Amino acid sequence: MKGPEDRPLRLLVAGATGQVGQGLLEAAAAHGGQAPRVTALVRRRRRTGQLLGEQVVQQVVGDVTRPRWGMTEAQLDELGEIDCVLDLAGTTDWTASHAALDRTNVLGAAHGLDLCLELGERTGRTVPYLYASSVFVAGLADGAVPEDLLPPHTDRTPYELSKWTAERALVTRARQTAHPVLVARVGGVIGNSVTARTTRRSSLYQLVSPREAEHALPVLPAQRGARVDTLPRDLIGESLLRLLRYGDRNACADWRGGVIAQVAAGERAPTLAALLAQLDAMDGSARYRIPRLVPASRGMLETLTRAGSRYVRWSRKAGNRLHGLRYVTVNRVFERSRFAALTGGWLPSVPLETVLRVTFGLAEPAPVTAGEELPLGRFQ
């Protein structure tokens, strides 16, 4: 991926309008002239410059579910040299069908690697591939979740299974070809850490309802010590940029043969109990109804989130809410040692107060101003 030192990296990005894609562009904007130049693959139509930002220097209409991501020979010629391809596109509706999930999350991933190989043949340069997966390929596994391929298990939802299948396919092929492939397992995503802008509400928000909302959950079943692993989308974007910049130093040699890195809060993720207690303290207007935690086993969580969705026809909103239990009620830590090795030791971190402010739309606390100083004479 090494390019001339006098120019920024040139990236082809699918999914630039999604939550992670927007985070990447927001993080890139903070780097000014050193920011990468992005060619965005967009579906159906071009987007406005205001939506994508000045880092996007070119838009190409395509479709990740098709070979070459739907691009023609002419479009491939117009791309010029690309330093890395990023697949940040994905179907994240947890109630979607197996077919819909596989088309985007599995086929799209495979087509992206094919595209890297073809671009390399055209330019005579190796084009690395970064695929955005999810830490939730772990299903309901608790304890320490390693940055390795995970074994098959029957407790995965269709969404989790689609990402798990894509990971195995990409890493298996990377091992066969020695191509540089990085699978970035992304944790829970919330809005921008400064502006709170978001394209969708997180699973945590869906489970803690405003008091006036219908069907508010009075209790949350959860394992003891359950952790909530979320990061603002711009911090996730910064994490991806760090992976790209550090990898660029040695032409992504550390990615060869396929590697997995978890873009998550890891050991710094707060427990669900601590998070709810802090939310209660910060919610001065009592806007939210804080549910009571009820101890639950892994088996109970699987029954609630898998059997419930198998035998009951839920609305999309209710189904996603039910699936959201899986992502905030399990006691586990997503390891980050390989991520740290691939960024030169840098790890993402965010204060709990920021997570709550962004997730629940809480106002910034008013700054404390010192009162007028009283004359000392009255105390003499």
Q: Give residue-wise pLDDT tens across range 270-293.
A: 999 999 999 999 998 889 999 999
Cα angle 256, 23, 71 (rounded to 5 degrees) comes to 60
Burial class (CB in 10 A: 0-12, 13-18, 19+), 302: middle
How far is the CA of 228 from the CAs of 21, 121, 205, 264, 305, in angstroms? 22, 43, 12, 10, 17
Look at residue 370 and tell me whether its pLDDT is greater than 60: no
Average pLDDT over residues 190-215: 85
Provide the pLDDT for residue 97: 86
> Would the CA dihedral through 161, 223, 192, 95 be positive or negative?
positive
Q: Which residue has the tokens 């020979």?
A: 73
Given this model, what pLDDT does residue 375 score? 45
Average pLDDT, rounded, for the chain: 89
Pairing of strands 219-222, 292-295: parallel
**What is the pLDDT, as a whole number, of residue 93?**
79
| Residue 289 exposed, middle or buried by CB count within 10 Å (0-12, 13-18, 19+) | middle
- Per-residue pLDDT for 372 more than 50? no
Q: Which residues pair with 184 in a beta bridge?
A: 132, 261
Is the predicted pLDDT of residue 224 greater than 90, yes or no? yes
Across 216-242, average pLDDT:
95
Residue 365's pLDDT is: 60
Band of the pLDDT at 374, cuts 50, 70, 90? very low
Residue 366 pLDDT exceeds 60: no
User: Are the C-beta atoms of residues 115 and 73 closer than 8 Å to each other?
Assistant: no
In sequence order, the β-bridge partners of residue 38 are 11, 56
Q: Which two tokens stand for residue 356?
A: 């709550």
Token pair belonging to 307: 């059997």
Picking from 23-32, 90-99, 124-133, 150-159, which range would have the lowest pLDDT averaged per residue?
90-99
Residue 212: the pLDDT is 75
Q: At 11, which helix (H) or strand (E)? A: strand 10-14
Tens digit of pLDDT for each residue in 291-304? 999 999 999 998 88
pTM (predicted TM-score): 0.91
CA atoms within 13 A on the CB side of 299: 0
State residue 321's pLDDT score: 73
Q: How confident is the model at residue 9 (pLDDT cuts 50, 70, 90)?
A: very high
Angle at 113 between CA 140 and CA 30, to 5 degrees: 80
Give residue 96's pLDDT.
81
Confidence of residue 7 (pLDDT cuts 50, 70, 90): confident
Question: How confident is residue 369, by pLDDT bands cut at 50, 70 and 90?
Answer: low
Percent of the chain with pLDDT over 90: 70
DSSP-assigned states of every residue in 223-276: -TT-B--EEEHHHHHHHHHHHHHHHHTTTTGGGBT-EEEEES-GGGPPBHHHHH
Task: Report yes or no: 39 and 47 within 8 Å, Cβ to Cβ.
Answer: no
| % of the chain exceeding 70 in pLDDT | 89
pLDDT in tens, 107-163: 999 999 999 999 999 999 999 999 999 999 999 999 999 999 999 998 899 999 999
